[in-house]
Amino acid sequence: MRKDYDLVVVGAGPAGLTAGIYGARSGLETVVLEKGICGGLSNEAPEIENYPGFKKVAGLELAERMKEQAAEFAELKELEAVEKIEQVRGEEEKRRKKEEMKVVTEKGSYVAKAVIFCTGTRHRKLGAAGEDEFLGRGVSYCATCDGFFFRNKQVAVVGGGDSAVREALHLKKLGCEVTLIHRRDKLRAEPFLQKRLKEAGVPVLWNSVVLEIKGDSRVRSVLRFDKERESEEVVEVEGVFVSVGEEPANELALQLGVELNQSGYVVTDKNQRTNLERVYAAGDLTGGVRQVVVACAEGAVAATSAYNDLLGLGGEGGGK
């Protein structure tokens, strides 16, 4: 069944939910489509300590509050994956040079005057042998989701950024025996987190590459290569939490013809406009500083730009 909207937002993480709020409050008929549940990767954050107004808040709680607020204004549809987006080029649209877009999901289709991509990123894989084989049997990409099942067990966190350190601290708090494995000789995580890691007594295996994840019915160990000593070592663990960054979920944007940079992130101007008319992008999908507060700001700007463009106002996004 076809439904017509002024604005379709694809993705309901912090950027998408904020775009939904701003779009609907500006008077645009707005729907937000999400293939999973609202919140995106922010749901997986054990604690968020740098979102204004909250000294400390669980990512899941913050996402739920955003969802509740967005639902007061925009139509939210969870568990509805977008399969493709295409231009609708009827004779009237051609004459007016205002082609609409058809957003096709597994449950129906939506015709939109404007689309905002907020599809975010997905976890990057480690690329080690056994990673796929033991997914769900000891290999995880989310300590918040799966950490409880590894209480009092030996686990490894692979990575060296903010997310990896947060995962390690969360697992330590749950009662896991945690070892951090990092391929370099220093962490990329912010100093505050590094200090907390040291205080928690989490050991770090430096200059180490995980070559293979081994086990039987479940993970039993990892084979690491020590780049400094040029030697291999088996580290006994029952869980491996991979936190080596993210990659953009850009398939839908690419399918429509949106410009991407060399890393696969969507290219936008300062008002979140892409190279296509009335197509915008916001949040982690655009790269840059991948923080919840930045995603929210970009979502607000994108929706404001969509409103201005649909009304023929043009100019800067960011009205108050």
Q: pLDDT at position 154, please? A: 98
| Predicted structure pTM score | 0.87
Does residue 318 belong to any structural domain of this protein?
A: no
Active site residue 146: yes
**Boundary-marking domain end, from 223, 242, 261:** 242
Task: List % helix, strand, coil for the chain (3-state, nearest 5).
Answer: 30, 30, 40
Stretch 303-315: mean pLDDT: 89
pLDDT, one tens digit per residue, over 105-139 is 999 999 999 999 999 999 999 999 999 999 999 99
Active site residue 142: yes
**171 & 95 share domain:** no
Strands (E), 182-320: 204-205, 208-215, 219-226, 231-236, 239-242, 246-248, 279-281
4, 118, 132, 142: the active-site residue: 142
Stretch 250-263: mean pLDDT: 97
Q: pLDDT at position 317, please? A: 47
**70 & 202 share domain:** no
The answer to whether the beta carbons of residues 281 and 116 sit under 8 Å apart is yes
CATH number for the domain that contains residue 258:
3.50.50.60
**9 & 104 share domain:** yes
Higher-pLDDT residue of 95, 12: 12
The pLDDT confidence band at residue 289, using thresholds 50, 70 and 90, is confident
- HEC states along 147-167? HHHHCCCEEEEECCCHHHHHH
Mean of all residue pLDDT scores within the chain: 93
Active site residue 145: yes
pLDDT at 96 over 70: no
* Domain tally, the chain: 2
Amino acid at 54: F
pLDDT at 1 over 80: no
**211 & 222 share domain:** yes
pLDDT, one tens digit per residue, over 200-210 is 999 999 999 99
**Boundary-marking domain end, from 242, 274, 290:** 242
**Boundary-marking domain end, from 242, 267, 299:** 242
146, 162, 176, 284: the active-site residue: 146
**35 & 63 share domain:** yes
SS3 247: strand
4, 145, 185, 269: the active-site residue: 145
Q: By residue range, what is the domain housing residue 20?
A: 2-122+246-310
pLDDT, one tens digit per residue, over 38-93 is 999 999 888 898 999 999 999 999 999 999 999 999 999 999 999 999 988 655 55
